Amino acid sequence: MEIATHHFATRIGQGGSTTVYKGVLRDGLEVAIRKYENPHPNRYDEKPEMHRLVHLCSMLEHKNIVKVPGYCDENRGVDLSNENTPKEVVGEQLDWFSRFQIIQGITQGIIYLHTHSGKPTIVHLDLKPDNILLDSDMNPKIGDFGLAKVLEDDEINASVRGTLGYMPPEYIVEGVISVKNDVYGFGVTLLETISGMSKSGRDTRHQASIEWAWEVRNSGVMNKLFHPSLCDNSQLKEIKRCIETGLLCTQKKPTDRPTMPDVLQMLHGMKKVPTPKQPGYIKRVREAERYKQVWAERL
């Protein structure tokens, strides 16, 4: 790893527990070396799980998953090499056709992680636009498995690590991990991808994209919200279906969220999208605003 990166000379990214360096392997393949720092290097109880996860990731073979050519284990942590796909997913100039292809690719990648035959379920736990990369053919690839967990049971409990805005309530409050964590993160990412086409939602991030989507769904004037150069009226029905699917994925209760195979069918119109409830985030914000208004009137 040190030779490939020229002693970790070129840093190209930084995460909560990782630093990313540019590297070149002996065969000329450009890679991104993710250096995972172990905050507890003497805690050997965490190592078997990490080793197993890294080994599983190195065997993943899917067009929408960043390939892992190899890894190196040290006492301080683990260095993981990924194919280098530097383009971020949410770009302002992408039209709806391109965005929908990206959304479908992300969906298929998550389905593979959750259901790939003969292997344990992998929960990514940090799905967000920054971790969805595009190759030269605009194919989306899910990367950065630094927080991922191998799921033996339907759900487990663990310490909370991730990116606020993409983590579901049950994980933030109780540390509960299931495949529905990824469904929530995907939902937020989906809504951000759509909001990037709108005149009013281009800069929305995290929870703001959920509120934006709820307002758009209830506006009844979708044809006025999106730039005509990025989508036409014939695509608005498909966009609305994707917005409703994204809102369904970000429901407060895990049981109200669909599975990723169901999401794929909903995106294609092969399965009816149940009517989403108002997201809990918006309820809390509006209740706080009402309380603030009541107290302001009393003073």
Would you name the residues annotated as active-site residues?
A: 126
CB 211 within 8 A of CB 220: no
Q: Which two tokens stand for residue 188?
A: 């937020």
CB 65 within 8 A of CB 142: yes
Residues β-bridged to residue 141: 133
Q: Which two tokens stand for residue 201?
A: 């939602």
Q: Is 58 helix (H, G, I), strand (E, B) or coil?
A: helix
Strands 132-134 and 87-88, by their bridges, are antiparallel
In 3D space, the residue among 5, 142, 146 whose CA is nearest the CA of residue 60 turns out to be: 142
Q: What is the largest CA-CA distance in the chain?
A: 73
Q: Which two tokens stand for residue 189?
A: 């990412």
Q: Residue-wise over 88-112: b if at least 16 C-beta within 10 A, else e?
A: ebbeeebebeebbebbebbbbbbbb
